[in-house]
Structure 1
Amino acid sequence: MTKSDREIMEILEAYDLTRCAYSAGQLAGCDPKTVQRYVAVRDAGGDPFVRVGRPKLIDAFLPKVEELVDRSQGKIRADRVHERLVAMGFTGTERTTRRAVRAAKDAWRAGRRRTYRPWVPEPGLWLQFDWGDGPRIDGRRTSLFCAWLAWSRFRVVIPTWDQTLGTLVSCVDAALRRIGGAPTYLLGDNAKTVTVEHVAGVPVRHPVIVAAGRHYGCKVESCEPFDPETKGGVEATVKIAKQDLVPTSANLRGQYTSFTELVVAADEWCDHVNARPHRETGVAPVERLAVERELLHVLPADPHAAALGEERLVNDDQTVRFGSVRYSTPPGHVGSRVWCRVVGDELAIAAMTGTGVAEIARHRLSTPGHPRIADEHYPGHPGGNGPRPPRPRARTRQEAAFLALGAGAHDWLVEAAASGATRVRAKMARAVELAAIVGADRVDHALGLAAAAGRFAEHDLAAILDHLSCAGDPADVVVADEAHSAQPGTGPWTGFGA
């Protein structure tokens, strides 16, 4: 059994005290030969604490193992090495080969290990951004846009439904406005929304993202392909955000019932991580952000056009089509261009107004065949699928004189026409004559009562006027019904003579 470092020190100490291997063995509780072996190693200038390897069966094949590891640049598998050694006469087990291959790979990588120079960021220079897979909501995938301001370590996480170019620019705009300014550089990965292709190793950036960076006063840079260390800060942000926001058995977070719930959780997460001291700086990122804001560029008042969404033309019916669904817009935008952008479960519609670009409407997302029409966008048109009430419009002098009596005359005409009353024109003329005698206001009031009670007979208007002059305004309006009779029934006679 191999002795521990403490036991070896006790053996050497006992020998230095007694100068006798036998006596030192008795004091240290070991064999005298063990004492002689450790003393001999020490006296020869060796390290007694290093275990001396015994000869192994694979020692004769180690040069071949090192050759195979070097030729494969440390990528060859141990089982393949074992097959070749067996063909060469090796009789040991695969476990022995695996240990030898692991030691050879460690030695091969030791001289080729990549070294890193610590990066010391400057305030106001770098903002890194990247994407991460978010949780599923109702079976639909989501994404997490993560941004990391290098010097202050301030983090921003924005949930989205997709990773399209318009969504990317809108998230960059939202992140910059949450930070309160624009840095000098924006560093992203090599997605097609940022880097179109590589020519001789040089990244060719997407013209829209370049225009967006120019709009905010930033230069867009791309990281090295397959090299996450060049933007390790945002990579760590993606990793931590996914660990905390995506439901797993490790964090015991429940499933999200709506996209709004995910947005609220992401905002709370950002507030939490930005308020606690950072391990590297010892200061909360929100405190360092207050200092870095002084070196950031001022943001333009309006976002870049790509951040507003997809451009649409407002049709004559005040609607735009997005995703094969019609969405209504307020009056005054027919024939003009607007921008549609998906925000969570809603569609935001923005347009150019007198004060700049502003949001003019917001609808819940819908599916084809189910348009979203807001009644407040059509103030002159009643909504619903029911019949539209007629609007009386005078075409003769007699009709104009009757309608001029007031709202009661309008109601009486509409209700009388709907009930199938006869001699409507004659009754209208009679109402105008009565207005000349008793006054237009009293006749208009009586017409309103007649319309509410459904009384359109020949002399009903005169009777209502007489009742108003004698008894005053009735408390309740009795609706005329031919199926009802005022004649008392025969119920009281049922008990007569009993």
Structure 2
Amino acid sequence: MEIFEAYDLTETVWSAAALTGHDPKTVKRYVKARASGRNPYEREPRPKMIDAFLEKIEEWVEQSKGTIRADVVHDKLVKMGCLGSVRSTRRAVNAAKTAWKVGKRRTCRPWIPEPGRWLQFDSVRCSTPPGYTGARVWCRVVGDELSITARTSSGDLSEIWRHQLSTPGVPQIIDAHYPDHPDGRSVHQPRLRPRSEAEVAFVGIGPGAGRWLKEAGPAGASRIRAKTAHAVELAVVLGSDRGDQALGLAAAAGRFAEDDLVSVLEHVAASKHVGQVVRADEAHSVQNGTIAWQALGRQQRAAGESRAD
């Protein structure tokens, strides 16, 4: 029998201890924790020497944007009179960095699968307000609503949001919970930020160069620096307009090989009409088909019939 079940039945510490086989002090501690609203299965934190310096540690972590080392923090605390150990400082710094990263963490809008096309393991998804990404929450049904409770920054458990009950496959997503995803859209692609002179020269060719650079990475293109340098040389000789047009066409067609840009430039130089750009895939191939094989069996049968005649 569980401690709380035994205590709720007998309403005395000694009787509950006798039924569960636990020490009466343990039963009393669990009952007292539940009465105060704390989690009885979590140990109550004991005071530490470093507690008086936690605000200073959080300040240093905030100023350094989570990059300050624990040994540097410990040296500063020793000068301030802290008598705690290096291990205590390291734990406090790690906790402060974890809390700092929670507020800086990038949030992702949940993926909503299309019914009938994807296998979904959970039944209902519900969003939480900003600041609770990765945090543990407790959900319970209250009437026709789902109440979400979490531990706030003050350490207390409180309700942070309520959703209307839904059905499997219909998640309850609130756009206000994802401020980085306006109108349900994903985060915009970051802008190109060239640093070296070669990168500045390549991006300066035009928007086609930027598109080529964005498409080349996901496509697995190799020797990016050599190809961009060659593109800059071609743009200087042939002009930025033609170079930019060729780079844009190459990016749209997924052509990132060594001589692909030269081939596209030759096509543009010949003043040929640029038709619909087609990527090479299973649906578009220049390989000969097998329809000619259909005549093989017919020719043999025809030869056999002529001999029989």
* Normalised TM-score (structure 2): 0.41
More strand by share: 1
TM-score calculated relative to the size of structure 1: 0.26
Instruction: Find the structure with the greater CA-based Rg.
Output: 1
The structure in which a higher percent of residues are helix is: 2
